[in-house]
Structure 1
C-alpha cells in the first residue's frame, strides 16, 4: 500500500521519491554554512602550523660609545660605533615542539568543526525520525478510523434490522468521531514535522518518507563505538601531550649570538666584534609550567576514558530502546489491527 510505503500525504506528494535520511542530511548540509565554516577553520589551522615552523628573525642594531663625555671624549670627538647582527639560536627542539603543538591544535580544530557539522546532521536525523514517527502515527490513526467506520456501518445495519439496540449505534458513531479527531491531529502533527525537516534546506513540506525504514529497524552490530566527541577529547589529549614537550623544550636556555663591525672615529679604523649571551636559569627553569602541562595531559587522558564509558552506556540504552520500539510497532501491525478487523468481520457475519 502507498500508506505503508510512504505514509499519508497529499496526492501530488505520493508520486515523489521518498526522502531518505541521507537525502535529508545532504540537502541540509549543502544548504547550510557549517561545512564552509569548517573548511575556513581548517585552512586557518594549517596556516598556524606553517607559522609555528618559522625560524626566529635576526635583529640588527647600532651602538655608539665614548661620546658626550669629558676630556677627549667630549661631543663626538672619539666615538666608537658598532653595527651588529644578532640571532637567537633555539635549542631543545623548540621549533619541532612548537610545530607539534600547532599540528595538534589543527587536529583539535578539525574535530571541533566536525562536531559542528555532525551536530547539524544529528538535528536533521532527529527531525527526520520525527517525520517517520508522525507518518506512522497518522497511518495507524487512519487505519483505526477505517475500522471504526466499518464497525459503525455494521452496527447501523444491525440496529436498523432490530438485532442490536440503538444506543450501540450512537456509541459507534461517537467512536468514529473520536477517531476522526485523532486523524486530524495526526495529520497536523505530520505536516508540522515535515515542515520542520524541510526548513533545514529551506524547502517545502510536500515530500514522502519510507515507513519501512522504521518498521524494519534492528540493533546495529556490536563493534567499537565511534563518536566525534570522543575523537575531540582524543585530539585534546594529543594536544596536551604536545604542550608537555613544548614546555620541556622551553626549559633549555637559548643563546644569542652577535657579530658586528666597530668603527673607531679617532683613527678611522674598523674591527670585527663578536659575542654570545646565554640566560642563566637561576630563578625560572619553567618547572611549574611543565608540571601544569603534565597535569593537563593526565586530565585529558581521564576525560577520554570517561567519555568512552558514557558512550558505551548510551549505545546500549539506545539499541535496546530501538529494538523495543520497532518490536512494539510490528506487534501492533500483526496482532492488534488484524484482531480489530476480525471483530468487525464477525459483527458483519453475525
Structure 2
C-alpha cells in the first residue's frame, strides 16, 4: 500500500509544483507590468543580468504573483536559490497565416518564403525570443512548445529588430502560430492538427499582446473559397486565437494577401531558378528556352482579388487593424512566396503596424 502511495505522489506532485520560468520566456506587459505567478510563503528576489536585485518580494503579492516592469533578462530566486530559467517582461506578438508567415521563422527553404539572414541584416535584439511548436522533435518538452532565441531566420530577426527600434527599451517575443498550405477552413477546424499548432502555442504564451494575420489567402485563392466563407473564417480565427492567447481584447492586425505573379523556372525547375538567381523576363536563358515563364492561372488571379476584398470586409466587420501594405512586396521565382528583399519589406511593414497598435507600456 505504501509503495502505491509513493508512486501516486511521484506522479502527481510534479503537477502541483509551481511553474518555473522557462528559459528565454517573455511575459506580456499588462498595464505596464508583467505578472509572474509564484506561490506565497517564500522569500522571492528578482535579479537582473548584472546580479542586482530588481524587486525583492517576501511573500508574493496577495494574488500569488510578482509584477515586473519591462526589461530583462531577469532571474528569479527563491529563498536565495535560482528558480527556473532567465526571462523578460515585454510584448508578445502572435503571428499566424500560412507559408508566408511560417517563412518568418525558417531559414532553410526559399520556396516557402524562408531565407537566411545575411551579414548586412540587423541581429535580433539580445533580449528577445520566439515561441515555437516543436511536437515530436528531439529535445521538445512534454508541453510541445519551447522558447528559443532568434538566430538565422531573416524574417524573425528583422521583425524583432524593427519592433525594438520602434519601441526602444521593451523586449519583444514572437509566437509562431503559422501553418503552411492551409486555407482558412483548415486553420479554424479544431479536429485538424492546426489546432495543436496554433492554439497550443497561443496558450503557452498567454497573455498575448497582439495578433498579426500575415498575408494569408493564397490557398483560398487557388481553391476558390467563397468570399463570405472566408470572411466568417477570419472572424473565427481571430476569436479562437484571442481566446487561446488569454486576451480577448488584444489588437488584431491583418496584412492582406500579397501579390501573386507569374512563375518561372530554369530547365523546368523553380528551385534551380532560385539557386541561380534567375530574374524573370528577357535574357539568353529565356531566348534559348532554358528558362521559361509559367503564367499565373487567370482564375486564381481573379479569385485573389475576391479574397483581398473579403479581407477588407473582414477588417471592417471584426475591427481588424491594418497589418502593413503588401502591394509592392516582391515575390520569388514561384510567383507566390516572397524573395529575400520582399521578406525584408513585408516584415518592416508589419513591424510598423504592430508597434503603432500596441498600447504604451
Fold agreement, TM-score > 0.5: no
Q: Which has the higher helix share?
A: 1
With the shorter chain as reference, the TM-score category is under 0.3
Higher strand share: 2
TM superposition score normalised by structure 1:
0.21
Larger RCO, structures 1/2 (Cα 8 Å, 6+ apart): 1
Highest Rg: 1 or 2? 1
